[in-house]
Amino acid sequence: MSRITGRTAAVVLIFFAVRLLVGRWICLVRNDWVDAHRGEIWDRRFVEISCERRVGQMDDRRLVSMVHREVTMMPLEQQAVSLVEFEVDVVPSLVQTGDYARAVARSMDIPPEHVESWVEARLMRQFVLTKDNPPWLDMILDEALLRRVVGDHKVMARQLRAILEAADRPNVELRVAPSTPVGLDSGYYFIAADQHQWVAYLESPTSVVIVGDDADVEPFRQRNSRLNRIALDPAKSADVVAAHAREHERA
């Protein structure tokens, strides 16, 4: 499984997306390919989603957007050489456990019958960290999310241990920010095809935006520089995560 290709993974994720859309949801998804002049994988897919919402259902645009995130991210991550993710609310997708992901899905009001498909799609992305020639992942976490209980304390304890296991890999660096500076109250995700081609991935409840223009990416790089100045080094960060894991285990 570690040799799974970006193309194969994308097909699998599209299958999961279709599973979520059939039946009770009536949605039209239109894909437009935009040539970014950075090689095939950097042709970005932008999606316009239009759904007929029925009384008592979750917002369909939100559900489709959440699934499409997984579909969109897989080929980009498979071809990346470097990833930088800063999170303030939830653990990064690439290191989430299944139980933690299920708790996240329930908190987002994903209908119970669709939770497992969404979780499977999310976990499929994680093969990128163990494949041949994996990308470098710089994972920066706001310390507050380590204290936040998602699911229950047992789920959190296992999740924090999983973060530490991921950080033991030679291609993963863990850093914890003890506090979030003003202006950095939302996460961001950088993806690099090489050291000179960076894109910033942004999302809202109903849309996905991939920013590729250097001038538009620069403000996010400046935010990352500010964060680097306050984040703990990997050794101290691991100690902090381990301490919070022990607290959840005792709770």
Mean pLDDT of 66-83: 77
The C-alpha R_g of the chain, in whole angstroms, comes to 18
3-class state of residue 38 by DSSP = coil
Does residue 82 register a pLDDT over 70? Answer: yes
* pLDDT confidence band for 207 (50 / 70 / 90): low
What is the C-alpha separation between 133 and 187, in angstroms, rounded?
26
CA distances from 28 to 25, 51, 55, 124 (A): 10, 6, 18, 25
What local confidence, expressed as pLDDT, does residue 64 receive? 56
Q: What is the mean pLDDT of residues 207-215?
A: 70
Q: Which two tokens stand for residue 117?
A: 């498909």
Residue 67's pLDDT band (boundaries 50, 70, 90)?
A: low
pLDDT, tens only, 99-154: 999 999 888 877 788 788 888 888 888 999 999 999 999 999 999 999 999 999 99
Selection from 191, 153, 174, 155 nearest residue 69 by Cα:
191
Distance of CA 64 to the CA centre of its chain: 16
Q: Over 50: is that where the pLDDT of 2 sits?
A: no
Higher pLDDT, residue 24 or 193: 193
Does residue 165 have a pLDDT over 80? yes
pLDDT band for 157, please (50, 70, 90 cuts).
very high
- Residue 187 pLDDT level (bands cut at 50, 70, 90): confident
